[in-house]
Chains A and B, each alone.
Chain A
Amino acid sequence: SYELTQPPSVSVSPGQTARISCSGHKLGDKFACWYQQKPGQSPLLVIYQDNRRPSGIPERFSGSNSGTTATLTISGTQTGDEADYYCQAWDNNTWVFGGGTKLTVL
């Protein structure tokens, strides 16, 4: 079965750039998307189709996907961006999530 691998945690200082990676076999050949989940809340889509932002998502959120790695980049990270982030891709009629990355802003 297909697997997506994320680092368990990433730390960044406020105002700096956070990068969260997601690795999978030939992931660049698939569409990757990213979700933000804050404690007690449902996940929120922040990037779809590798690099597209849904309406209402700040421009500081961006994405890329090539080769075996998709990356979520948060520029000018704010304390309110602290959350769990999950990548996701579709493979062979099933949907797969990465294990999630806890972003700490301190």
Chain B
Amino acid sequence: EERLKESGGGLVQPGGSLRLSCGVSGFSFSSYWMHWVRQVPGKGLEWVANIKEDASETNYVASVKGRFTISRDNVQSLLYLQMDSVRAEDTAVYYCVKEVRYAFDSWGQGTLVTVSS
């Protein structure tokens, strides 16, 4: 069974930093593109970033470009999202997601990030 588990969420002040982690099991992590998707509680889904299997390519939604960094450790099967210069509008549940065949077929349970003073 494929499992993805996010950690690292919590309360952070505006302008601060936070690093999210996602540990996976049940599939060959290094063989898949991985993504972060976020959801403001009670609102819709928003794609945040993705990273190629070998980390040679990354992409970001415009609103986080230059502030967030996605990375991965294929030896330890870990996905990361470094969040810098956070803003109130970054408050959301952040999901770690596996992509296959142009779709997101496995999701973690999410970790809540709250940006507030």
A interface residue numbers (CB < 8 A to B)? 1, 31, 33, 35, 37, 42-45, 48-49, 52, 54, 86, 88, 90, 93-100
Of residues A42, A54, A97, which shows the largest number of chain B Cβ atoms within 10 Å of its Cβ? Answer: A42
Closest to B50 in A: A95
Closest Cβ–Cβ distance, residue B31 to chain A (whole Å): 17
- Per DSSP, chain B at the interface is strand
A16 to B50, CA, bound (A): 38
A31 to B103, CA, bound (A): 9
Residues of B within 8 A of A (CB-CB), count:
19
- The stretch of B7-15, B17-25, B40-48, B75-83 in contact with A is B40-48
Chain A residues near B107: list those with CB within 8 A. 42-44
A-B contact pairs, 18 of them (CB 8 A): A31-B102, A33-B102, A37-B45, A42-B107, A42-B109, A43-B107, A44-B107, A48-B101, A49-B102, A52-B101, A86-B44, A88-B104, A93-B59, A94-B47, A97-B45, A98-B44, A99-B44, A100-B45
